Amino acid sequence: MNISLAWRNIWRNKTRSFIIMTSVAIGLFAGIFVLALYEGMINNRVRTVIDTEVGHLQIHHKQFKEDYDPKFSMNEQQVINSLKSFHQIKYLSTRTVTFGMLSTTTGSTHVRINGITNNAENNTSKLKDKIKEGKELSEGKKNGVLIGKKLADKMKLKLNNKIVLTFTDKDNNLTAGAFRIVGIYQSDNTPLDELNVYVSKNVLNNYLNLPQNSCNEIAILLHDDKDLQTTKEEIQKKFPELAIETWKETSPETNLMVGYVDEFSIIYVIIIMIALAFGIINTMLMSVLERTREIGMLTALGMNRKKVFLLILSETVLLTFVGVPLGILASWLATIYFSKAGIDISSFSEAAMSGFGFSSIIYPEFPSDSLPKVLIIIIITALVSALFPSLKAIKLQPADALRQ
Amino acid sequence: MKTVIDAHNISKTFNKKSIPVLAVKNVHLHLEKGEFVALVGPSGSGKTTLLNLIGGLDKPDQGNILINGIDITKLSANELIDFRLHNIGFVFQSFNLIPVLTAKENVELIMQLQGRGKREIKERVQTLFQEVGLSDKLNSRPAQLSGGQQQRVAVARALASKPQFVLADEPTANLDSKSAANLLDIMTKLNQEENMTFIFSTHDQRVIERARRVITLVDGEVNSDTGTYLELNHGNSLI
C-alpha cells in the first residue's frame, strides 16, 4: 500500500510533479550528453593519436629517446623481417628522426625532421590525407619537404618556397640541406603541425650519414586495439635490446586525459544533480507542508514514523525516477543522431580544440560504461533529497498537525 | 462493567513560554465499556484537548490516563502510535480521508498497518461498509462522496482496527441534518448492538440528545458529569 499510496500522492499536484520529472529528465539528458560528448571527444582523440600520429606501438633504439641522437638507429630490414610473423600487425612504417633548425630568409624555428617513405607513412599516419596544398613527397624529386600549415603561417611560407634544414649528423657534424616545399599539410593537432616536417627517408639518411637500411623509429598499427599489450610484450621478447612503447607511453598526455575525463564528466553530472536536488527538496517539502494535517492524521491513526518516513522517501524516489527513463531515452536518441551528424564547433573554438589535438567536429558516443555510475548518483540524489522532507514529516506531532 | 478509560487529575497547559493557556484542569474521568458519552461545553472549554489526551495524541502535563489498565502517559512516542493503532478509533470533524485512496482503501489502510491478512481485511471491509450503509461506494474516491458518506467511511475506518473505543471530535459539525441523523443512527446501533464505546466532543444538540452520559466542560474543568441530556437539563441547551 505504501508504494501505491506514494505513487498516487505524487500525482496530486500534476503540474508540480510534471515540472520536477521534466527537470530530472532534462538534467539527466544534459549529464549523459556531456558524458557522451567527452566520451566521443576522447575516443576520437585516442583514434587520432593511434591512427594518424604515433600508431599503436613504436620501436626505438633504447638510447634514442634520451637525446634523439640519430646515431642510435636500427637495422630496419632485420626488424621488419622478424615482425612479419606477427599477424596482429596491420601496417608499419620506418622513420629516420632528428631535431634541427628550419631557416628562411626572414627567420628560423626549431623542428622535428621526419624521414619517411610515402606508402608506408600513408598507411600508418595517413599523411597523404592531411595534405591541403601541393602533393606528397616524390621519390624522383630530391629534397622536397612537407610542412604543417601552422608552421607555414608562422614562418610565412608558401608552396615551392625554399627552406634550409640544419641539424647534426650521426657523427655530430653540423650539416644543412636546402629543401623545397612540395606540400602543406594540416591535422587536428596544431602543435604537431608546427613541429613536424617530413622529408624523404633516403635523403635524410644521406645527410645523417646513416645507411639506407637504418631507421630510428618504427611505427606499428595493429588490426585490433585489444592486442596492444600482448603484442608489445611479444615484440619486446624478440628484441630485448630495443625499446617498445605503446601509444600510452608515446603520448602520455592522451593516456592521462583518458584516465581523467571519466572522473571530470562524473563531476559534471554530480553538479547537475546537486542543482536538481534543491528542486526536488523544495517540491517534496511543499508537498509535506501541504499535507501536514493528513500526515498528522495518519500518525494519529497508527502509521508509525518508520512508515511515514518510507512513504515520503518512496514519493521522492518515484518522483525522481519517473524522469530517469525519459532522460536516458532522450540522451540516447540525441547521441545516436549526433554520432552520425557530428557537432561542428569550429565556428567558435576550432583553434582551441586543435591546440589540444582535438577535432572541431565532435561525434558523441553513448556512455554505456558510465551509466551505472550515473544511476547510482541519481539514487543518492533522490535519497538525499528525500531526507529533509521525510524528517520534517516524522517530526510532526499528530495533535499539532490536526489543529492546522 | 469493564473500565475502558480511567483518567486521574489530568491537566494540560499550552503556550507555557509566552501566555500560558490552561486547556484542561485537574480532570478525573472514568468510562466503562459500552458507554455513549458526549463531551460538551463552549468553544475553548477544552473538549478537543481532553479527547486528544484520552486518545494519546497529546501528553498531559500532569496526571495519568489508564486505558485497559495501561498508563498511556508513560508510553514512548512509538509505543503510543502502536497503542492507538490497536486500541483507539478516531473520527474527525473534517473526515480526514486520504483523497487519493478509494473508500475501501481508506479503511483497508488501517488493517494493513495492523498487519492483518488479505482475506480478513476483505471480509471486514465488506462487513463495515454494510454497517455504515455504503456497500455500493467501495471504490469511490472521497471527492465522489457527500459529506455524510465521507463521515460514514471515517466511522468504518475508525472501527476497522477493532478498537476499545472510538473518539469522535465534532463528527456532525460539517454535516446536514439528514446526514447527521443517519450517522448518529449508525453509531447508536453500533453502540447498542456491538457494545462499542463512543466518546464525542460536540456542540451539536442532536448528538447530545442521543448521548447516555453528558460531561460538561467549562474552562478546562468538568462542570458536570451526569446522565442523559433530558435528565441533566430538562430540555434547556447545555452549550
The CATH number for B184's domain is: 3.40.50.300
Q: Is the pLDDT of residue A216 over 80?
A: yes
Contact between A304 and B90 using a beta-carbon 8 Å cutoff:
no
Q: Tell me the pLDDT tens digit for each residue of A311-367.
A: 999 998 898 888 899 999 999 999 999 999 988 877 776 666 666 667 778 888 888
Interchain CB contact of A294 with B (< 8 Å):
yes
Interchain CB contact of B100 with A (< 8 Å):
yes
Distance from CA of residue B169 to its chain's centroid? 6
Q: What's the confidence (pLDDT) of residue B180?
A: 87
Cross-strand bridge partners of residue B40: B216
Q: Tell me the pLDDT tens digit for each residue of A5-25.
A: 999 998 988 998 998 899 989
For residues A148 and A185, is the Cβ–Cβ distance under 8 A? Answer: yes
ipTM of the complex: 0.88
Q: Is the pLDDT of residue B236 over 60?
A: no
Measured CA angle at B56 (ends B4, B104), to 5 deg? 85
Contact between A9 and B114 using a beta-carbon 8 Å cutoff:
no
Q: Tell me the pLDDT tens digit for each residue of B82-104.
A: 999 999 999 988 888 999 999 99
Q: What's the confidence (pLDDT) of residue A193?
A: 92
Q: What's the confidence (pLDDT) of residue A321?
A: 87
Q: What's the confidence (pLDDT) of residue A354?
A: 64
Does residue B54 lie within any of the structural domains?
yes
Does residue B238 lie within any of the structural domains?
no
Does residue B89 lie within any of the structural domains?
yes
Q: Is the pLDDT of residue B234 over 60?
A: no
Interchain CB contact of A309 with B (< 8 Å):
no
Interchain CB contact of A12 with B (< 8 Å):
yes
CA distances from A23 to A31, A183, A275, A317 (A): 12, 53, 10, 14
Interchain CB contact of A5 with B (< 8 Å):
yes
Question: Using 50, 70 and 90 to split pLDDT, how confident is the model at B71?
Answer: very high
A402: chain B residues, CB-CB within 8 Å: 52, 57, 92, 96
Q: Which residues have CB under 8 Å from B190's CB, separation 6+?
A: B131, B155, B159, B196, B198
Which of A5, A9, A300 is the closest to B57 by Cβ? A300
Which of A8, A11, A304 is the closest to B82 by Cβ? A304
Tell how many helices (H) and how many strands (E) occur in chain B.
8, 10
Interchain CB contact of B105 with A (< 8 Å):
yes
Helix, strand and coil percent figures for chain B, each rounded to 5: 40, 25, 35
Q: Which residues have CB under 8 Å from A228's CB, separation 6+?
A: A56, A57, A222, A246, A247
Contact between A1 and B108 using a beta-carbon 8 Å cutoff:
yes
> What's the number of domains chain B is made of?
1
Does residue B9 lie within any of the structural domains?
yes
Q: What's the confidence (pLDDT) of residue B172?
A: 87
Q: Tell me the pLDDT tens digit for each residue of B122-174.
A: 999 999 999 888 899 999 999 999 999 999 999 999 989 889 899 999 888 88
Distance from CA of residue A90 to its chain's centroid? 24
Contact between B57 and A399 using a beta-carbon 8 Å cutoff:
yes
Tell me how close the Cα of B233 comes to any Cα of chain A, in angstroms: 31
Does residue B239 lie within any of the structural domains?
no
Question: Using 50, 70 and 90 to split pLDDT, how confident is the model at A264?
Answer: confident
Domain with B151, as residue range(s), is: 3-233
DSSP states of A26-74 as a string?
HHHHHHHHHHHHHHHHHHHHHHHIIIIII-SEEEEETTHHHHT-TTS-E
Task: Give kind and range of the element (H or E) at residue A135.
Answer: none
Q: What is the mean pLDDT of chain A?
A: 89
Question: Using 50, 70 and 90 to split pLDDT, how confident is the model at B229?
Answer: low
Which of A1, A304, A402 is the closest to B109 by Cβ? A1
Q: Under DSSP, is residue B195 helix (H, G, I), strand (E, B) or coil?
A: coil
B82: chain A residues, CB-CB within 8 Å: 302, 304
Tell me how close the Cα of A335 comes to any Cα of chain B, in angstroms: 39
Question: Using 50, 70 and 90 to split pLDDT, how confident is the model at A262?
Answer: confident
Of A355 and A169, more confident: A169
Which residue matches cell numbers 553530472?
A269
Q: Under DSSP, is residue A273 helix (H, G, I), strand (E, B) or coil?
A: helix
